[in-house]
Amino acid sequence: MAREALAPPVRCRGVLPLSVLDLATVATDSSPAQALAETTRLAGEVEALGYRRLWVAEHHAMPAVASSAPPVLVAHLAAATSTLRVGAGGVMLPNHAPLVVAEQFATLEALHPGRIDLGIGRAPGTDPATARALRRSGDLGAERFPDDVVELLSFLVDDGPERHPAPVPGRGHLPEVWLLGSSTFSAQLAGLLGLPFSFAYHFAPRLVDEAVAAYRSTFRPSRFLERPHTMVAVTVLCAPDEEEARWLAGPSAVTVLQLRTGRLTPVLTPEEAAAVPMTPTERAVVEAATATHLVGSPDQVVAGLEELAARTGADELMLSTRAHAHEPRARSLRLVAEAWGLAPVPGRPVAV
C-alpha cells in the first residue's frame, strides 16, 4: 500500500520541517579526518535541535569535500545518533552498479530501521576523468539512469516475484528512496515512479519552478508514496547580524568561482577569501550565482525560507551551510532552528 506521507510532518511557523545537507567540509587549516569528525559532531547537534534529516553528498576528487563515500559515512553517522534520519543526498547512481547500492543501503536499513534515506542522483559528482576511473569504463552510463533506478528498486521492494541475484540484506529492507535533480529530467522520473523528489535549488535556482511543476504534473501514486512530496535544498548562512553573515559567506562565494575555473582548493578562511582578486566579470558571475543564497540575520533567513516555501509549495526544506569552520556552521543551524521554531529533542543538550 502506498504511504500517504513519508512521515508525519512537524509543522514549524505554520510551514514545514527543516533538514541539513553536509559535505564534510575540508578547510585550508584542516584535514579530511577533521572534516569527518566535525560532520559527526554536527549530526548530534542538529539531531538535538530538532532537524529531521542529515544527508551527505557524493563528490569525488574535490579538495574541499570529504564525503566521497556516502554509505560508509551514513553508517557512522547513524551509529552516532538515535532519532535523526541519515542518508545520502545523494548517491550518484551512474558511478555504481545498482546491486551494490541496494546491498549497501539495505544493510544500513537493517542496522538502523526506519532512519535511512537513499537519495539518488544522475550526475557523476566529479570530472569526466574521475568518473571514468570510478567506473573503469569510458561509458558514463547516464542514459541508463531510469533503468538503473528501476533495477535498484526491484532489489529492495518486498512484493513481486523473487529474482536472481537477490541481495542479502535486500527485499524488505527498503530505505526511504528519493530522486534528486537540478532539472526537469529527474523531476519527471520521480513523478512517473511515484517517488519523493528533492530539487537542488542551491545550485540551479532558475529551474525550480519548472522542475517542481513537472514533478507534480507527472506524479503517479505508487507503493512508495500516495501524493507528491517535494523537498528543496537551499544555501543558508545565518549569523547574529547580516554583516557578520556576509563575511563568513565569503569563502563559499570564492568556491563558486573555483568550481567554474577548475582551480579547486580546500575552503578558504574569510580573510583568505577577502584577499582573492576578482575581475569585474568574475565578480558578476559570483554575485549572480549567490543571489539566491540566504545570508543574513535569523529574521532575514527565516523570511527567505518562508518565501521559498510559499513559492514552491515544498513539503520540506534542506539547508546547505558552507563555512570555513565547524563553529559558524553549527551556530548558523542553531540560529535558524531557534528562529524557525524547531522543537529540540528533550534531554539532549545543544552544545553550540
Burial of 249-268, coded b for 16+ CB within 10 Å and e otherwise, reads: bbbbbbbbbbeeeeeeebbb
Whether residue 55 contacts residue 343, with contact meaning beta carbons closer than 8 Å, is answered with no
**232: which 3 cell numbers?**
528543496
Of 12-16, 166-170, 281-285, 339-343, the one with minimum mean pLDDT is 12-16
Q: Model confidence over 125-164: pLDDT tens digits?
A: 667 777 777 765 555 556 789 999 999 999 999 877 777 8
* CB atoms closer than 10 angstroms to residue 83: 11
**If we measure between CA atoms, which residue out of 22, 21, 17, 39 comes closest to residue 30?**
39
Q: Model confidence over 46-85: pLDDT tens digits?
A: 999 999 999 999 988 899 999 999 999 999 999 999 999 9
Secondary structure element (H or E) that encloses residue 249, with its range: none
- The pTM for the full model equals 0.91
| Phi and psi at residue 155, to the nearest 5° | -75, -15
Say what the pLDDT of residue 4 is.
47
* 61 vs 214, more confident: 214
Whether the upstream peptide bond of residue 165 has omega within 30° of 0, thus cis, is yes
Say what the pLDDT of residue 11 is.
46
Say what the pLDDT of residue 1 is.
38
pLDDT higher than 90, residue 216: yes
* 165 vs 227, more confident: 227
pLDDT higher than 80, residue 15: no
Band (pLDDT 50/70/90 cuts) for residue 17 is: very high
Cα–Cα distance list, 261 to 181, 255, 281, 294 (Å):
23, 10, 13, 24
Q: What percent of the chain has pLDDT over 90?
A: 74
Beta strands in 59-187, from DSSP E residues, in sequence order: 85-92, 116-121, 176-181
| Phi and psi at residue 158, to the nearest 5° | -105, 25
Band (pLDDT 50/70/90 cuts) for residue 3 is: low
Say what the pLDDT of residue 181 is.
95
Burial class (CB in 10 A: 0-12, 13-18, 19+), 69: middle
Q: Model confidence over 169-204: pLDDT tens digits?
A: 989 899 999 999 999 999 999 999 999 999 999 988
CA angle 143–206–196, rounded 5-degree value: 55
Band (pLDDT 50/70/90 cuts) for residue 102 is: very high
User: What domains can you pick out in the chain, each with its CATH number?
Assistant: 18-340 (3.20.20.30)
Band (pLDDT 50/70/90 cuts) for residue 123 is: confident
Q: Model confidence over 251-305: pLDDT tens digits?
A: 998 998 888 888 899 999 999 999 999 999 999 989 998 999 999 999 999 999 9
Whether residue 22 contacts residue 64, with contact meaning beta carbons closer than 8 Å, is answered with no
Beta strands in 108-250, from DSSP E residues, in sequence order: 116-121, 176-181, 197-199, 230-238
